[in-house]
C-alpha cells in the first residue's frame, strides 16, 4: 500500500497492517475475501463462491484509536 495508508484518516495515528480472520468448519482459519458479483445461494455451502472471483482483503488498524480500514487487493494473498 502507499504512504497514504500509514496514517489514520480519523486521528492521524500510525496504521498497522493485518487481516481479518474468517473461521470455517473444523476450526480452519482463512483470510477474508471480497467476491465480485451478487451472492448466489448454494444448497451444500450456503453461498456459492467462485474462486476466480475472490480477492483477498487486507486490513489496517490504527494503533491509537482502533479504526479499521480494509482493501481488497491481490497482494494480500496468503503466501
For the stretch 31-42, pLDDT in tens is 899 988 888 898
**5 pLDDT above the threshold of 70:** no
Q: Which three cell numbers stand for residue 51?
A: 474462486
pLDDT-based confidence at residue 50 (cuts at 50, 70, 90) = confident
The helix/strand/coil state of 26 is helix
* Residue 51 DSSP SS3: helix
Cβ neighbour number for residue 61 with a 10 Å cutoff: 19
Q: Do 34 and 42 meet the contact criterion of CB atoms below 8 Å apart?
A: no
Look at residue 8 and tell me if it is in a domain: no
The answer to whether residue 1 sits within a structural domain is: no
- Domain-located, residue 65: yes
pLDDT at position 1 is 62
Residue 6 in domain? no
**Total structural domains in the chain?**
1
- Is 13 a member of any domain? no
Question: Which residue in this structure is represented by grid cell 482483503?
Answer: 57
Amino acid at each position: 500500500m502507499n504512504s497514504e495508508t500509514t496514517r489514520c484518516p480519523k486521528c492521524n495515528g500510525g496504521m498497522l497492517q493485518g487481516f481479518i480472520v474468517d473461521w470455517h468448519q473444523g476450526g480452519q482459519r482463512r483470510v477474508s475475501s471480497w467476491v465480485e458479483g451478487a451472492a448466489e445461494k448454494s444448497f451444500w455451502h450456503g453461498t456459492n463462491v467462485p474462486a476466480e472471483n475472490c480477492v483477498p482483503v487486507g486490513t489496517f488498524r490504527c494503533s491509537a484509536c482502533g479504526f479499521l480500514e480494509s482493501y481488497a487487493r491481490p497482494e494480500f494473498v496468503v503466501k
